[in-house]
Amino acid sequence: MTAIAAAEPGGPEVLRPEQRPVPRPGPGEVLIKIAAAGVNGADLSQRQGRYPMPPGAPDILGLEASGEIVALGEGAGPWRIGDPVCALLIGGGYAEYCLAAAGHCLPIPRGLSVVDAGALPEVVMTVWLNIFEIGNLQPGETLLVHGGASGIGTTAIQLAAARGVRVITTAGSEEKCRRCRDLGASRAINYREEDFVAVVAQETGGRGADVILDMVGGDYLQRNLTALGWRGRLVMIAFKGGSRIEVDFSPIQAKQLTITGSRLRPRPVAEKARITAAVRQAVWPLIEDGRVRPVIDSRVPLREAARAHERLQASRHIGKILLVTG
């Protein structure tokens, strides 16, 4: 099979097609013939040699994929050969075939193509876990999402709005802000022109946000603490602006704030299966009735993975970039 791995840490140019053996499923695993794989920020970090790899992860990139099950390991029921699925992966999605834990697979939502379903597993599970489970976001509350035009952001806006949450988001251009509003954000802040702390205060009557989903870190940390309201929760999932900074923590005490964060990839197999089941129950109906849909920026041939990374790294995208095998 054709697969994409980074021969050495570096820029997008280190991503080259290689020929690899088709893997065989072990106990509790399925083999998927891939139609599409999502491209995520963690893939860029892995390519650059900056992502700590969990035990057992392959060097082939890719944390989510969709396609058809073509082989089953022992105990991989209730799946059958021929079932169309999308799956959360520990790695290996940038290929023509990949292995997935049976418990990390989901049926393709009704009304969605197999290809476009490749944009769902990683982002939907990340959003569900961090905003609704860890952040405990409730209907009627206010959510601030940084990076609203990203795959995570476009999913978070739609899912939160569908569950009765008021959404404020930041983005880096007027076009991206417009798309965020179209997806359900009540206010989209062009962070190049406006101060999100001031806008959040204005939009909430000085009360502040209840939950902030942040993938920036750096100097956003202090500003996020200011933007949060009483008993607000800051959930951090990435640190594009850096993970080390001097911070005044007094707002935490004054407002009883919570700072937390998580990573999905290194969690135990059983825990990821639990999250998969929760997403199927809570989110899949919203996708099937059209209230939440993956926003697809572009579909790029697998062999041109370097071009997909260049687009993601330059932040030219709105929504998800997919690598397609067909």
Could you tell me the domains of the chain? 2-120+265-324 (3.90.180.10), 124-261 (3.40.50.720)
- Residue 99 dihedral angles phi and psi, to the nearest 5°: -95, 145
Q: What is the pLDDT along the chain (326 residues), one digit of tens a residue?
A: 999 999 899 999 999 999 999 999 999 999 999 999 999 999 999 999 988 888 888 999 999 999 999 999 999 989 999 999 999 999 999 999 999 999 999 999 999 999 999 999 999 999 999 999 999 999 999 999 999 999 999 999 999 999 999 999 999 999 999 999 999 999 999 999 999 999 999 999 999 999 999 998 889 999 999 999 999 999 999 888 888 889 999 999 999 999 999 999 999 999 999 999 999 999 999 999 999 999 999 999 999 999 999 999 999 999 999 999 98
Confidence (pTM):
0.95
Helix (H, G, I), strand (E, B) or coil at 42: helix
236-259 per-residue burial string, b: 16 or more CB within 10 A, e: under 16: bbbbbeeeeeeeeeebbeebebbb
Angle between helices 151-162 and 174-183 (to 10 degrees): 30
Q: Is 285 exposed, middle or buried (0-12, 13-18, 19+ CB in 10 A)?
A: middle
Question: Residues 209-268: pLDDT tens digits?
Answer: 999 999 988 899 999 999 999 999 999 998 888 888 899 999 999 999 999 999 999 999
Please choose, from the candidates 326, 266, 281, the residue with its C-alpha nearest in 3D space to the C-alpha of residue 57. Answer: 266
List the beta strands (DSSP E) in 256-319.
258-261, 296-301
